[in-house]
C-alpha cells in the first residue's frame, strides 16, 4: 500500500538530485565536497571529545562567570544572571496573560537596577568595588546599561536630525557623522583615558561607567540612523490623519511616529545590540576583565599555557549562546508587534 508520508521525502531527494547530481562533473564535485566536509566534521568531533583538555574551562567556570568577585558573595551575580535567563524563558514560553504582557517591559527594565544593587552592594549587602567585577557578569552589565542609555539618546538624535530647526538638525547630523567615522576602540580610549582629565578635581567616575558612557556615545549614533530610517518609512498620510484628529506635534511623535519607527527598525536595532555585546570584548585591551579578558588572564596562568583553542572555542560558544538568545527574543518581540498590528 502506498504511503503518503514518503511523498515529501521523495520530493526532497529529487531536489537534491537535480541540484547536486545533474551531470558527471557536478556529481564528482559534490561527492568531493561532501567527503571533505565529513572528514573535517569527524576530525573536529574526535578532537573535541578525545584530545581536547577541557580542564582549562571546567576548573575556571566561576572565574568565567563572575571574574574576581568575592567567592562568598558570588551568589549575587549568579542571582542576577539566573533572573535574566528566567525572564527570557517567561518572555518566550510564558502564559499569554494580560498582566504578564503589561508588566514584561517593566520587568526587563528593572533587571538593570537589580543588577547594579546586587553587584555594588549596600542596603544590607557587602559593598564590592567595580574593579572586582568581571567575566560574563561584566559583559552583560556593559551591554544592558549601554543599550538602555543609547536607545532613548538615539531616538532623540533621530528626531533632531528630522527637525525643521536648522541649528538642531546640523548639530545632530555632525554628531552622528563624526561618531560613525571614528573607530570604536578610539572612543573607548577616550572614555577610559581622557574623560578623567575633563572632570573637576575630586570627582571620579569608575572605569565601568566610563566604558558604558563611551559605548552609549558610539552606539547611539548608529541607533539614530536606524530609527531615522524607520521614521522615513512612515507615510505622510499617517501624520496627516493624526493631525486631523486633533493631535499636536508631541502627541503625533509619541503615539504615531516613534512606535511605528521602532517596529520598522527592530531588526536593525537587534543587530546593534548583538554587535554591542560582541564589542564589549574590546574592553580586554583597556584593562577591564570581561569575558574575553578572563580568557586571556587564564591563558597567562603557567598551568594552562598553550591551551588557546579550548579557551577560544568555549568563549565562542558562550558568545554564540547569548547572541542567539538576544536574536530569538527580538524575533519573538517582532512577531508580537506584528500580531498586535494586525489585530489593531
Question: pLDDT band at residue 2, thresholds of 50, 70 and 90?
Answer: very low
For a pLDDT cut of 70, what percent of the chain falls above it?
91
Please tell me the distance from the alpha carbon of residue 257 to that of residue 277, in angstroms, as a whole number: 28
**Please, are residues 65 and 137 in contact by the beta-carbon 8 Å criterion?**
yes
- For residue 260, CA distances in Å to 189, 228, 229, 237 come to 36, 11, 11, 13
Please tell me the distance from the alpha carbon of residue 272 to that of residue 222, in angstroms, as a whole number: 8
Please tell me the distance from the alpha carbon of residue 282 to that of residue 252, in angstroms, as a whole number: 40
Percent of residues in the chain assigned helix, strand, coil, to nearest 5: 80, 0, 20
Is this structure's pTM higher than 0.95? Answer: no
Task: Kindly report, residue by residue over 166-216, the tens digit of the pLDDT.
Answer: 899 999 999 999 999 999 999 998 888 887 787 777 777 888 899 999 999
- Give me the half-sphere count of Cα atoms (radius 13 Å) on the Cβ side of residue 133: 26
**Please, are residues 187 and 283 in contact by the beta-carbon 8 Å criterion?**
no
Amino acid at each position: 500500500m502506498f504511503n503518503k508520508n514518503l511523498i515529501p521525502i521523495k520530493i526532497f531527494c529529487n531536489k537534491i538530485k537535480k541540484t547536486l547530481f545533474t551531470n558527471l562533473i557536478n556529481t564528482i564535485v559534490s561527492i568531493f565536497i561532501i567527503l571533505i566536509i565529513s572528514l573535517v566534521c569527524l576530525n573536529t568531533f574526535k578532537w573535541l571529545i578525545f584530545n581536547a583538555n577541557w580542564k582549562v574551562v571546567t576548573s575556571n567556570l566561576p572565574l568565567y562567570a563572575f571574574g574576581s568577585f568575592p567567592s562568598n558573595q558570588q551568589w549575587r551575580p549568579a542571582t542576577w544572571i539566573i533572573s535574566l535567563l528566567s525572564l527570557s524563558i517567561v518572555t518566550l514560553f510564558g502564559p499569554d496573560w494580560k498582566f504578564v504582557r503589561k508588566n514584561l517591559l517593566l520587568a526587563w527594565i528593572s533587571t538593570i537596577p537589580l543588577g547594579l544593587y546586587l553587584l555594588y552592594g549596600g542596603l544590607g549587602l557587602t559593598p564590592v568595588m567595580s574593579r572586582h567585577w568581571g567575566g560574563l557578569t561584566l559583559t552583560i552589565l556593559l551591554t544592558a546599561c549601554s543599550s538602555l542609555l543609547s536607545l532613548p539618546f538615539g531616538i532623540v538624535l533621530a528626531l533632531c536630525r528630522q527637525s525643521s530647526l536648522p541649528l538642531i538638525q546640523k548639530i545632530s547630523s555632525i554628531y552622528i557623522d563624526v561618531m560613525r567615522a571614528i573607530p570604536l576602540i578610539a572612543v573607548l580610549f577616550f572614555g577610559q583615558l581622557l574623560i578623567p582629565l575633563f572632570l573637576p578635581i575630586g570627582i571620579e567616575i569608575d572605569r565601568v561607567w566610563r566604558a558604558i558612557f563611551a559605548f552609549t556615545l558610539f552606539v547611539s549614533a548608529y541607533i539614530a540612523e536606524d530609527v531615522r530610517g524607520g521614521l522615513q518609512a512612515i507615510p505622510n498620510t499617517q501624520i496627516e490623519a493624526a493631525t486631523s484628529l486633533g493631535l499636536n506635534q508631541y502627541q503625533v511623535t509619541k503615539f504615531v511616529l516613534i512606535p511605528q519607527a521602532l517596529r520598522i527598525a527592530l531588526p536593525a536595532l537587534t543587530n546593534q545590540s548583538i554587535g554591542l555585546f560582541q564589542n564589549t570584548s574590546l574592553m580586554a585591551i583597556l584593562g577591564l576583565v570581561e569575558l574575553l579578558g578572563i580568557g586571556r588572564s587564564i591563558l597567562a596562568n603557567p598551568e594552562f599555557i598553550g591551551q588557546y583553542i579550548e579557551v577560544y572555542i568555549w568563549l565562542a560558544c558562550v558568545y554564540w549562546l547569548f547572541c542567539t538568545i538576544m536574536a530569538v527574543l527580538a524575533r519573538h518581540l517582532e512577531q508580537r508587534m506584528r500580531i498586535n498590528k494586525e489585530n489593531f
